[in-house]
Structure 1
Amino acid sequence: MIGDLLVLLRDRLDAYLHAAAATAGDDSPEDRAQLIDGDKADSVDFRLNAISILLVNIQHENHLRAPDPWLRVTPDGRQQRVAPDVRLSLSVLFVARFKSYALGLNQLALVIRFFQTHPVFDHENTPGLPAGVEKLAVELVTLPQHEQNDIWSALRVHYQPSVMYRVRMVVLSDPAGVTPTPIGQTVVRTRRIDA
């Protein structure tokens, strides 16, 4: 599901960047937004003249849990014991690598403008949103300099103009409502410590 959501965001952003380029008189069919190709294990390769999208972190959002996360009420009103939902937020990096530095910055500004005008993706404004996802909220994240350095060092590449967004709320739930298997007897072992 996470991959599908990133593909959805890429496609929507790519369409927006194509529309902006067409307005400026550039109707090139090349992708303007792309997901990072995962075939290289040592370093990341950001494609030239494109916005590259990279998932940097997945965080568990546990502060929005229900009082009893193991309980779900079915549409007919019955209560059912299920595995609790896992609510995630994704840290997604958008990197502009262009021959012209100014063009790269302008493309990055278009990414910011896109998410400024599209801060929420739901089934009404995004028909391709997976059925298990109610909505996605996207917010700009400003990282401190040392965290930016950590990311670029981990990627093993030189810094490129970039912006990070937090995408929440990706909810992974138990669609079948299967009751979790009970845990067997717990054996407590004690150890004697001689003084």
Structure 2
Amino acid sequence: MLDRALVFFKEELSNYIKIKTGGQREDVVQFPEIQLPKEIVMQNNAITSLMVNLEEERTFRSGATRINHLSSQGNQAEIPHLDLNFHLMFVANFKDYAEGLRILSLVLKFFRSYRLFTQKKFPQISPEIQQLSTELVNLTFMEQSELWRSLEMPCSPSALYKVRMLIFQDAEIEQVETGTALRNILTETSLL
């Protein structure tokens, strides 16, 4: 599901930039190439879309390891869903610095115009995804420095968005077997 969310953003953002530039920029949003052992390679004259963090949304989390549902077929148990947020960074890697800033500005406009992505508004979004919302993340200079250092990349014009919330739910429901009903309980006590 993560792949579908990232591809959705890549395609929608590329289409938006193509429209806004009058068709001058096609497929300008790209994923990086990962080369072993750990090098991230960005394409030239493109916006690189990169997931930099994945976190569990704990606000809606149930502490239970299983959720039981009573039905006419017996007691059914399912594993609670997993709610995830991720941070998506868009890096402008252009030879012409001003052009990179212009295209990065279009990224900012896109996410300002569309903050909530639903099936109704975007039918091309994967049916597994109920909705996604985005918010621009403000990093301090120290946090930015740490992020770029951890990516082992030179600092470039970029925007970081927090995307909420992917809900992972296993489609399989496990049937919990229940034994026969207890009729009599015999308790024995002994005197010493």
Moved more, 65-74 or 36-45: 65-74
Q: Which residue of 2 aligns with 1:19?
A: 19
Pick from 118, 128, 131 the counterpart of residue 132 of structure 1: 128
Q: Structure 1 CA distance, aligned partners of 2:68 and 2:13? A: 36
Paired letter, 1:57: N
Q: Which residue of 1 aligns with 2:53?
A: 57
Q: Deviations over 1:7-58 (max 9, x none)?
A: 1100000000100111xxxx34642101112234332122111110000000
Q: Which residue of 2 aligns with 1:143?
A: 139
Secondary structure in 1 matching 2:159: strand
Q: Structure 2 CA distance, aligned partners of 1:79 and 1:121? A: 36
Q: Structure 2 CA distance, aligned partners of 1:45 and 1:75? A: 53
Q: Which residue of 1 aligns with 2:6?
A: 6
Question: TM-score under structure 2 normalisation?
Answer: 0.82
Identity %: 29
Secondary structure in 1 matching 2:99: helix
Runs of 4+ aligned residues of structure 1 deviating over 4 Å after TM superposition are 66-69, 72-76
RMSD, aligned α-carbons: 2.5
Q: Structure 2 CA distance, aligned partners of 1:180 and 1:142? A: 47
Pick from 95, 98, 101 the counterpart of residue 94 of structure 2: 98
Q: Structure 2 CA distance, aligned partners of 1:31 and 1:124? A: 25
Unaligned runs of 5+ residues in structure 1 are 182-195
Q: Deviations over 1:94-153 (max 9, x none)?
A: 000111211111111110100111111111111122222110011111112112111111
- Contact 1:94-1:163 within 8 A present in 2 as well: yes
Give the aligned length.
176
Unaligned runs of 5+ residues in structure 2 are 178-192
Q: Structure 2 CA distance, aligned partners of 1:48 and 1:75? A: 57
Question: TM-score under structure 1 normalisation?
Answer: 0.81
- Contact 2:75-2:176 within 8 A present in 1 as well: no
Q: Which residue of 2 aligns with 1:166?
A: 162
Secondary structure in 2 matching 1:131: coil
Q: Which residue of 2 aligns with 1:188?
A: none
Secondary structure in 2 matching 1:6: helix
- Contact 2:17-2:25 within 8 A present in 1 as well: no
Q: Structure 1 CA distance, aligned partners of 2:24 and 2:173? A: 48
